[in-house]
Amino acid sequence: MGGALGGALAPRSVAARSTTVATSPTTFGRIFSGLPPFAPATDAVRSQLIALGAKGGPLDAQDDLSAGPVNLITDPTKSVGNPNNPSHTAGTTFFGQFIDHDTTFDTSSKLGVSTEPSSSPNSRTPSLDLDSVYGEGPSSSAQLYDPADRAKLRISSGGIFEDLARDAAGTGIVPDPRNDENMMINGLQCAFILFHNRAVDEARADGATSWRDAYGRARRLTTWHYHWLVLNEFLPQVVGQSLVNDVLASGARFYRPKSGQGFMPVEFQGAAYRFGHSMVRPSYRANLKGDGGSAFFGMVFDPSGDGQSDPVDLRGGARAPRRFIGWQTFFAFDTEVKPNKKIDTRISTPLFNLPLGAIASGDQPQVLPQRNLLRQLTWSLPSGQSLAAAMGEPALSSADLADLQPYGFESSTPLWYYCLKEAELLRDGLTLGPVGGRIVAEVLIGLMKSDPTSYLARQPNWTPTANGAGGTFRMTDFLTYARVDPTSRHAALRLAPPPVT
């Protein structure tokens, strides 16, 4: 994350900053300001980081890509170096990416070049306020809203089902261009739009008398249900319920922003929250045959898709009838759901060969692990060992990190790698470990608590109202309320004419 797939993976046709919405930037900061960097930003260190992150190196899961995406899904033996995580489903990766895109967007720092966080703007507001969906609201970001109904967000059709509204060049009209970087994140963006629009209708049925009133009620309802999912589904999956309970009951030990003054720390943005890269499968089944056509399997990224109007892979930025998400692959609607990958130091092989057009900045390297490792130098991040000591946690030993000995990082380890390795060794890859998990839990809970409009701050005993699910509300309920669930899909197909093939 930096996006679960990373902020590096926006289509080249989309500018790094949104062409439709400008948000007021704040800057990045640090939680642990007194710790030295894990290594100096020298050419020798950069070379070793690039070697560590190279294809075929210790971070490469070495998935067998020879048989294509279908066999990678149906035959887990093709991905023996990249084991499944039975504790959460494939959609966890992309919901995590959605959260990232709502809270952090670095568009100015340079990979491997030391940058002071306080001088680098964060182009997202550092709170879970869905500015990645709403922009600056109907008045200042009118292009995001339905001109016939200012309370509602614009939504379009991809041929069979929903797609982002697009301009004449095909660019998604969206506050954050990264939310059109792959089909799954595009699908989540559309689901949030549709959830809001249904909430507008219900607000009016419940007595809202103006578009402003209907919009305000719907935005709060959507945002609070989102907060609920982050706190009650996503965080327990990735850090463990006991750590969530501890932070809620005892408060944060390290991330303590003042009320209304949450900030985005680089220990989270540059390292701990990038754990999602290790959960990415090499390929996914975007939808099933019964969803409206032939099943669409694809690699998450395939450079051969460059320049195709309907790419062979699952990149975003394109519109075609088959380019929609059947959510039963990603969340537990039925037995079709697929598991996530474990959190460990094995990264799916397609992420070692990103299409250049899939890198927002258009720069090298095209290997995602190398980009993550160089970012440790960008922010002068401390070693995992020194951060563990500062947090009062036992550090991994040099023997635990023996894979790093050829590169010289076994005793002073890049924080991103360290968080992955402690998850692998101490939690069997099912959740983050004590260092990475606490950073992620404290920051996400802290961002909600420091936001005076969040339900944690205003009404901590609130429970969801959509679908009448109450305290059992989960992502499947969110998607059902948005009417993108499998049952709603099939009902829509029965009402609609057959798609053009």
**pLDDT tens readout for residues 143-162:** 999 999 999 999 999 778 99
Nearby residues of 164 by Cβ (< 8 Å), 6 or more positions away: 155, 156, 172, 173, 174, 180, 186, 189, 190
Q: Encode pLDDT of 304-362 as tens digits.
A: 888 899 999 999 999 999 999 999 999 999 888 999 999 999 999 999 987 765 565 66
Residue-level pLDDT at 80? 66
CB 179 within 8 A of CB 132: yes
| pLDDT tier for residue 470 given thresholds of 50, 70 and 90 | confident
Flag whether pLDDT at 65 surpasses 90: no
E strands, 281-380, are: 283-287, 296-299, 339-341
Q: Average pLDDT over the chain, rounded to whole?
A: 89
Residue 324 has φ and ψ, to the nearest 5°, of: -145, 165
Flag whether pLDDT at 163 surpasses 90: yes
E strands, 288-418, are: 296-299, 339-341
Flag whether pLDDT at 64 surpasses 50: yes
What single DSSP character describes residue 257?
A: P
Q: Which domains does the chain have, with CATH numbers?
A: 7-495 (1.10.640.10)
